[in-house]
Amino acid sequence: MIEPPTLETERLVLRPLTPEDGATVARLAGSREIADTTISIPHPYSEKQARAWIAARTSQSSTGKEMVFGVAIRQDAQLIGAVGLREMDTEHAQAEMGFWIGVPSWGRGYATEAGLASITFGFADAGLEEIVSFTSAANVRSRAVMERIGMTHEEADDFDHPELEETDPLRPHVLYRISAADLAH
Ligand SMILES: CC(C)(COP(=O)(O)OP(=O)(O)OC[C@H]1O[C@@H](n2cnc3c(N)ncnc32)[C@H](O)[C@@H]1OP(=O)(O)O)[C@@H](O)C(=O)NCCC(=O)NCCS
């Protein structure tokens, strides 16, 4: 079984999620603010659902298709969010990055720091050559994180999320990319 390694950044530890994280994940990811900008996180979000989400991440990691980390503060080990790579495609050396951080920890650069660490891991340790990330066009905070990481956006990559109604404000999506060569510069 492939388990996510533990990565350390200046202020954070990125570590495998465990079933014991379920209550914290449900509380943080279940907030209204997170539901307002994401389509894959349920709201309300029960501990049982969070545990099932963690179990699914662990099982996907074991197949090598994902590498999702819990994001914790280095100083006190407090879990504040999650970041990771999904749809890891070794044939095309590509993956998607996703992230969320609990509202009490917004505005401190943690998402940018964690996102950059997961991308660096993807290029340096997982053999990837390109990582993409997408979000609804209106999700300015998420787009700002992608831009701070050094990802770039081209209008030609914009798309309407196929699972959302035409009237849903989250339907228009933007896609950002970064290559191993971009990160090296
Ligand atoms: C997207 C999300 C993670 C962004 O969180 P965030 O706190 O805005 O992002 P960062 O952690 O990079 O913090 C950036 C802010 O911290 C500030 N900051 C403070 N100290 C900093 C530091 N040391 N380094 C960098 N930025 C710092 C920046 O100036 C910026 O401030 P601003 O919000 O006033 O512009 C968060 O809004 C979220 O979880 N949203 C819901 C889930 C979601 O949308 N996920 C994306 C879909 S893939």
Domains parsed from the chain with CATH numbers: 7-184 (3.40.630.30)
Contacts of 147-153 with CB under 8 Å at 24 or more apart are 147/176, 148/109, 148/112, 149/112, 149/115, 149/116, 149/119, 149/178, 150/178, 150/182, 150/183, 151/176, 151/177, 151/178, 152/176, 152/177, 152/178, 152/182, 153/177
Alpha helix (H) residue ranges in 30-127 = 32-37, 47-62, 110-124
Going from the Cα of 147 to the center of ligand 1, the distance in angstroms, rounded, reads: 11
Structure confidence by residue, pLDDT tens digits, 8-39: 999 999 999 999 999 999 999 999 999 899 98
Q: How far is the CA of 106 from the centre of ligand 1 (A)?
A: 5
Ligand 1, CB cutoff 6 Å, lining residues: 34, 37-38, 98-101, 106-112, 133, 135, 139, 141-142, 144-145, 148
Residue 51 pLDDT: 98
State pLDDT tens for residues 105-164.
999 999 999 999 999 999 999 999 999 999 999 999 999 999 999 999 999 999 999 999
pLDDT of residue 184: 83
Amino acid occupying residue 22:
G
How far does the centroid of ligand 1 lie from the alpha carbon of residue 128, in Å?
Answer: 25
Tell me how far apart the alpha carbons of residues 64 and 126 are, in angstroms, rounded to a whole number: 10
Q: Which of 85, 145, 173 to mutate to test the pocket of ligand 1 (most atoms within 8 A of CB)?
A: 145
Residue-wise DSSP of 5-33: --EE-SSEEEEE--GGGHHHHHHHHTSHH
What is the whole-number distance in angstroms between the Cα of residue 144 and the centre of ligand 1? 7
Query: Quick one: which of 51, 57, 54, 55 has its CA closest to 85?
Result: 57
Distance between Cα 13 and ligand 1 center (Å): 17
Which among 11, 14, 103, 108 is the best mutation to test ligand 1's pocket, defined by most ligand atoms within 8 Å of the CB? Answer: 108
**183 CA from centroid of ligand 1 (Å):** 20
| Predicted pLDDT at 44 | 94
Which burial class, exposed, middle or buried, applies to 4 when counting CB atoms under 10 A from its CB (0-12, 13-18, 19+)?
A: buried
Q: Among 162, 17, 37, which residue's Cα sits nearest to residue 103?
A: 37
Tell me what the pLDDT averaged over the chain comes to.
Answer: 95
53-99 pLDDT per residue, tens: 999 999 999 899 999 999 999 999 999 999 999 999 989 999 999 99
pLDDT tier at 2, thresholds 50, 70, 90: low
Q: What is the pTM of this model?
A: 0.97
